[in-house]
Amino acid sequence: MLPDFGDPSDPGNRPARLAVGVLGAGRVGPALGAALQLAGHRVVAASGVSAASRRRAEALLPGVRLVTPPQVMAAADLVLLTVPDDALPDLVGGLAATGAVRPGQLLVHTSGAHGVAVLEPATRVGALPLALHPAMTFTGTSVDVARLAGCPFGVTAPEELRPVAEALVVEMGGEPAWIPEEVRPLYHTALAHGANHLVTLVAQAMELLRTAGVAEPGQLLGPLLGAALDNALRSGDLALTGPVARGDVGTVRTHLSRLATVTPDIGRAYRAMATATAQRAVANGTLKPEPAAALLDVLNEEKH
């Protein structure tokens, strides 16, 4: 029998309270557990191996027992599987093989890369599978719980469990976004490419500014990058500005020359991003083919 979670769009509808377990006290699990507690559920057990995991659990889930994974499974109606993507298949297989999974138990993993197929060994023995991926970076502190307000969650579940999945997301303060099973890898690729590579890009820009003698590169970059991100989210490729979008070959050549002598590794990243930028600028009509060809010739020159 499925839990009666009612209509998640009705703020007055209070779903059944659940005993929640957290398997994997990394940065994500304790935060989601804390959010579910705020919604009225009860976190009854958690597991964590490292000292850092235990500290996070104690900080975000005070008073919750830290026990073994089988003990978490035995105590909980809903279990959050918050382990790294590559560890998830073996964890699920092991839990199912050892009889730790109970029929009717909700198993919720938070991997962006996987849908519910990865939970199939547990589903075969009666578990109810949900994939709820919060599209946010986590710090492992109480700040994360507040950040869940309005946070999009990539939701994948069997159709009959969709109301349950969406209700849980709403209860944690999030906004459910339905992701079909077959496109889950592409969904995760998009998020990782945008969020993770953005961090690398910003860190490289800050490094260059420090090399140029700027003491507080974040103060200089913050307004510019904030405006660029806002414009990109609103207008996509049409938000492109700067020497590549203008076809300023001489400026780009100077950039590459300086990078070759200062930080060649950032120079390689610059070439790759500038090439992709030029190609997209041509495709949307921002950059004309003739200056684009000259620009791409410079970007493809052998590095000295």
Q: What is the pLDDT of residue 304?
A: 44
Q: What is the pLDDT of residue 302?
A: 60
Give the domains, in start order, of the chain with CATH numbers: 19-179 (3.40.50.720), 186-299 (1.10.1040)
Contact 107, 81 (CB under 8 A): yes
Q: What is the pLDDT of residue 87?
A: 95
Q: Give DSSP secondary structure letters for the chain.
A: -------TT-TT--PPP-EEEEE--SSSHHHHHHHHHHTT-EEEEEE--SHHHHHHHHHHSTT-EE--HHHHHHH-SEEEE-S-GGGHHHHHHHHHHTT-PPTT-EEEE--SS--SGGGHHHHHTT-EEEEEEE-S---SSTHHHHHTTT-EEEEE--GGGHHHHHHHHHHTT-EEEE--GGGHHHHHHHHHHHHHHHHHHHHHHHHHHHHTT-S-HHHHHHHHHHHHHHHHHHHGGGG--SHHHHT-HHHHHHHHHHHHHH-HHHHHHHHHHHHHHHHHHHHTTSS-HHHHHHHHHHHTSPP-
Q: What is the pLDDT of residue 49?
A: 81
pLDDT by 10s per residue, the chain, length 304: 555 555 544 444 455 699 999 999 889 999 999 999 999 999 999 998 888 888 898 899 999 989 999 999 999 999 999 999 999 999 999 999 999 999 999 999 999 999 999 999 999 999 999 999 999 989 989 999 999 999 999 999 999 999 999 999 999 999 999 999 999 999 999 999 999 999 999 999 999 999 999 999 999 999 999 999 999 999 999 999 999 999 999 999 999 999 999 999 999 999 999 999 999 999 999 999 999 999 999 999 864 4
Q: What is the pLDDT of residue 9?
A: 47
The pTM of the full predicted model, rounded to 2 decimals, is 0.86
